[in-house]
Amino acid sequence: MNTNIFLQKTSNLFVENRLLKFVIVALSLAVTFNSFMVYRAVKYQRVVLIPPELTGTVEFVQGKPSDSYVKDVSRRLVNLAATYSPPTARAQFEELLAYYAPESYSEASSAWYSLASRVEESQVSSVFYLEKIERDEGLIEVFGNLKQFAANTPLENTSKTYQISYRLQDGRFYLISFKEKFAPRQEAQRD
């Protein structure tokens, strides 16, 4: 850096100091602007995943998934849990257990493996026809029609509602519970 434009050395030093101050201020402004843009990019980033078994894209904006992702996952969970036959029940329930949160896994595994044993022994098949999915924060309600068969004999044909409790942690869907929601009983009115 050649700042010898003046005859006096002190004047040249003052010019050099002013130039260095300007460079430091310019670099500080550039770092501040860059930090702001990085913060904005991280805050508003959108991660798009296309898993092989889901029908649509998966988007997380500010750590929250899109409705289509939650509906696709709940549709998959209901199909694994409520549509089965004796040869496929155990494998489907094992796949369903992979979605469970660690704290819920032991209770769920005993329940699902018990159901798989009963299905294999009694040769019962089940089909769930999904009609509607309603989502709330941490809770999904799935409405539909359940048909069960033993061989070719129909056993049950009823409307069912399933409640799925879940949580999202680090972009992963954890199933906490999968329960049938029973309609509240209405007591007979007395005259």
Predicted pLDDT at 49 = 57
Predicted pLDDT at 50 = 55
**Would you say 47 and 66 are in contact if contact means Cβ atoms under 8 Å apart?**
no
In terms of Cβ atoms closer than 10 Å to its own Cβ (0-12, 13-18, 19+), residue 107 is exposed
* Cα 125 from Cα 119, distance rounded (Å): 7
pLDDT at 48 over 70: no
Domain ranges for the chain, please list them.
64-181
- Locus of tokens 């005259």: 191
Q: What is the pTM of this model?
A: 0.66
Q: Which residue has the higher pLDDT, 3 or 181?
A: 181
Predicted pLDDT at 116 = 92
pLDDT band at 4 (very low <50, low <70, confident <90, very high): low
Predicted pLDDT at 173 = 82
Q: How is domain 64-181 classified at the CATH fold level?
A: Nuclear Transport Factor 2; Chain: A, (3.10.450)
Predicted pLDDT at 37 = 93
pLDDT digits (tens, 9 = 90+) for 135-178: 888 899 999 999 998 878 888 899 999 999 998 887 788 899 99
